[in-house]
């Protein structure tokens, strides 16, 4: 598989779908990746608190740079399309 850079995540606002697919690349449908991202956020108390402080709600569809930075700070930066598969936080919240 071709290596993909995720540096774009650090520049500007992005849809929750784009970010979800970056962290959960193996889903056939983008909506499944979004559901998994939301479920993982909900199950990660410190991340949820940081995102909520940055204005995130269960209805958020566009993530701000501050919210994306919170994700990267808590879960790490995606380096390739399959990097998230080994993230313990994400592994424990798959469903």
Q: At 1, is the pLDDT very low, low, confident or very high (cuts 50, 70, 90)?
A: very low
Distance CA 69, CA 28 (A): 26
Q: Decide if 17 contacts 33 (C-beta within 8 A).
A: yes
The pLDDT value given to residue 89? 52
**pLDDT greater than 80 at residue 93:** no
Distance CA 87, CA 80 (A): 12
In sequence order, which ranges of 1-95 are alpha helices (DSSP H)?
A: 16-23, 30-42, 45-53, 65-75, 88-92
Q: Write the pLDDT tens digit of every residue in 24-68.
A: 999 999 999 999 999 999 999 999 999 999 999 999 999 999 999
Distance CA 26, CA 85 (A): 9
SS3 15: strand
pLDDT cut 70: percent of the chain above it: 75
């Amino acid at each position: 598989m071709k290596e993909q850079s995720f540096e774009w995540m650090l520049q500007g606002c992005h849809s929750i779908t784009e970010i979800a697919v970056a962290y959960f690349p193996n889903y056939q449908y983008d909506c499944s990746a979004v559901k998994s991202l939301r479920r993982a956020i909900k199950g990660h108390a410190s991340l949820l608190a940081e995102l909520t402080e940055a204005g995130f709600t269960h209805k958020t569809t566009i993530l701000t740079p501050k919210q994306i930075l919170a994700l990267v700070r808590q879960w790490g930066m995606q380096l390739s399309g399959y990097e998230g598969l080994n993230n313990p936080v994400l592994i424990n919240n798959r469903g």
